[in-house]
Structure 1
Amino acid sequence: MAQDSRQAGTQLWGRPPVEPPVRALDDVDQALVHALQIAPRASWTRIGAVVGLDAVTVARRWNRLTEAGAAWISCYPAPVLATAGEGLLAFVEVDCANGSLLTVARALAEQPHVTAVEHVSGDRDLLITVLAPDLAALTRWVTQGLGSMTGIVATRTHLASTVYTEGSRWRLRALDREQIARLADLEPTRGEAPVFPLTDMDHALMAALSTDGRATYRALAETCGASPDTVRRRLGRLFAAGMFQTRCEVARPLSEWPVTVILWGRAAAGQLETVARLVTGVREVRLCAGVTGRHNVLVVAWVKSLADAQRFEVRLNERVPDLEIRDRAVALWLMKVSGHLLDERGYRLGAVPLDVRSAGAVAGG
């Protein structure tokens, strides 16, 4: 099975697998990752001051991790955009014809509006996360693009009505309270600034930051054809309104929670908010969203093992008895996460720049 997995990785991403140069995170690496989860774009000088190292050392440490695909920083449209009517988020289950899963996964992963592709266990082959500017664009893509793609047998689309928590809030928990507080002070204040329509420049900034969430203002300016000061001001406004969300990720084998569990559940309409609030308080939970369809709650959690997946469901049921779990799956291979392509072990191989607008440009397969 290990040999099949290595061959699958070669087939899917077009490069032979190699042994990861980083097999474990030491205490300094863990502190650095945790710091960047809190303040992804803070300067190395400030990050170093908190973790007790000089700027050169922390920058060198981070470069080592990123070059190994062990950690990376992404950026993506925040849920507030969908809430304000500036786009939407959908989860699509995909059933593949025999022998076509890798071909379908590759085609989906190459699409800029498909932020995540997961090979999962259970009653579907793939679970994908899709961004679209509006319902019309999503419908057009699902029916004409996805619907005509060779190798797909059936799809089921679930719209996200509300995202109660998502991965950017998850922490490695390697720092103490005082360090966390100092880093939190470095992050821009997200006040009550209203959401505004995204411009072409905003989309260009999103595409660039989605592949490298720490890209400098100068590099972003060159990409967008603007001055660094203009980029700085624009990003300041986007982050202040909570429209862009940065996230520091770590390769799953390097965390204490290498197994991803996906649960579909149902709560009474009048209890959905209360249920969601209780679910988001569970440490293992990475995502909790209200969805449309035969289920109205989607939960994604990280757990320590397959055995722990069952124990997690028991713990969740005890904490949230009003949530009825109706279906479950385990991610066999996280192929794409927030635009970043991963090998079968969870290490980063590359990225596809995100572009929510591409869902409106149908391209069949």
Structure 2
Amino acid sequence: MESLDRKLVHALQIDGRAPFAKIAGVLGVSEHTVARRHQRLRESGVRVRGALNRFRLGHHAWTLRLRCTPDAGPVLAQALAKRPDTFWVHLMSGGTEISCLQQVETADELLLDRLPRRLVDVSAHSILRGFASPGTWRGIACLTEEEEAVLRPDFAYEPPTELTPLDEQLIAVLQADGRAGFAELATKAGTSESTARRRVEHLRKTAVLELQLDADPALFGFATQARVWMRVQPRHLAEVGAALATHPEVYFAAATTGPANLVASVTCRGSGDLYRYQTESIGVLDGVSEFEAAPVLRTLKRAN
């Protein structure tokens, strides 16, 4: 990927709805160039999507690990990817494992009792604290701190409120296209443009609506991905999580319940880099007593 495209991708990661004119000013090119490059990126599979952060509404986030027979893996993964409450659905370990995240209002809503019988093992762990997310992934970072500061949204964050039917309609449109204009949002949601603008801005300020860069890391040269589970001594958990958040290989990391109390998603340029990352980056962290990695065969769903 060309240098200008990488900078544009990083800009969209910082603020997925930043106007092209603002991005152009930071990158030192014309607005027309940014618009043209953005369209080309969309055609290659790089998109901005809105994501509903139900955690901010008091819901619970869980990470699920499912082991199944080889014939059941792809079918089950596809079924999970179609659910509105799941995201980051990975088919792993040659098709015999699935990992996904789920957001539910209560633990009773977990889909464990609705899974097929061809599962070998199921584990579900509540996410207690997030350390890294795709929005903070440093693997594509190439702008200077000053450029990042210009692009970063200047929000005074507000406490979340209950979603209205209009909010849900707006979020549904943004889940398909996070850069949908306010005129399009107003038309599809059946409201005025000013109301659409006000509600979207409110949802962003409350962090109920997140804008996520939806792209395969392989497009940026990171062809090897893995899901990682770590057992960390409790007194070291916060510092290990904070350390992972600084690693360019890590695009998700969170503390969870269960014996493996830290889960992460990592992406490397190849299997050799994954080995080096395990031994030279994770292996030197104090408090990590056990480590397990499962290679990601295919990602069926990213943002929710």
Same fold (TM over 0.5): yes
**% identical aligned pairs:** 25
For 1:263 and 1:72, the matched residues in 2 are separated by: 26
For 1:85 and 1:241, the matched residues in 2 are separated by: 10
The 5 Å alignment of 1:170-181 reads 170-171=137-138, 172-181=140-149
1:189 aligns with 2:158: no
Q: Is the 8 A contact 1:120 1:331 kept in 2?
A: yes
Q: Is the 8 A contact 1:190 1:242 kept in 2?
A: no
Match of 2:105 in 1: 133
For 2:209 and 2:284, the matched residues in 1 are separated by: 32
The 5 Å alignment of 1:82-93 reads 82=55, 84=56, 86-93=58-65
Q: Is the 8 A contact 1:117 1:337 kept in 2?
A: yes
1:104 aligns with 2:80: no
Which string of whole-angstrom CA distances, capped at 9 and with x for unpartnered residues, describes residues 59-99 of structure 1? 12111221232x11122133xx52x5521211111223342
Shift of 1:133: 2.2
Match of 2:166 in 1: 201
Structure 2 counterpart SS, 1:330: strand
How big is the alpha-carbon RMSD for the aligned residues of Structure 1 and Structure 2?
2.2
For 1:176 and 1:122, the matched residues in 2 are separated by: 39
Q: Is the 8 A contact 1:122 1:329 kept in 2?
A: no
For 1:323 and 1:201, the matched residues in 2 are separated by: 46
- Unaligned segments of structure 2, at least 5 residues: none
Shift of 1:275: 2.4
For 1:150 and 1:206, the matched residues in 2 are separated by: 35
Q: Which runs of 4+ in 1 moved over 3 A?
A: 149-154
Q: Per the alignment, do residues 190 and 247 of structure 1 end up closer, same or farther by CA in structure 2, a change over 3 Å counting?
A: farther
Match of 2:50 in 1: 75
Match of 1:165 in 2: 132
Match of 1:257 in 2: 222
Match of 1:308 in 2: 273
For 1:173 and 1:279, the matched residues in 2 are separated by: 16
Shift of 1:262: 1.8
The 5 Å alignment of 1:1-365 reads 25-69=1-45, 71-78=46-53, 81-82=54-55, 84=56, 86-121=58-93, 125-138=97-110, 141-143=111-113, 145=114, 147=115, 149=116, 151-171=118-138, 172-184=140-152, 187-191=153-157, 193-339=158-304
Shift of 1:33: 0.9
Which string of whole-angstrom CA distances, capped at 9 and with x for unpartnered residues, describes residues 103-134 of structure 1? 22222221111112111128951111212222
- Unaligned segments of structure 1, at least 5 residues: 1-24, 340-365
TM-score by length of 1: 0.77
For 2:263 and 2:25, the matched residues in 1 are separated by: 39
Shift of 1:219: 1.6
For 1:68 and 1:271, the matched residues in 2 are separated by: 41
For 2:179 and 2:266, the matched residues in 1 are separated by: 26
Structure 2 counterpart SS, 1:74: strand
For 2:247 and 2:289, the matched residues in 1 are separated by: 16
Number of matched residues?
Answer: 303
Shift of 1:225: 2.0
Q: Per the alignment, do residues 318 and 328 of structure 1 end up closer, same or farther by CA in structure 2, a change over 3 Å counting?
A: closer
Shift of 1:168: 0.6
Q: Per the alignment, do residues 132 and 55 of structure 1 end up closer, same or farther by CA in structure 2, a change over 3 Å counting?
A: same
For 1:93 and 1:285, the matched residues in 2 are separated by: 19
Shift of 1:249: 3.5
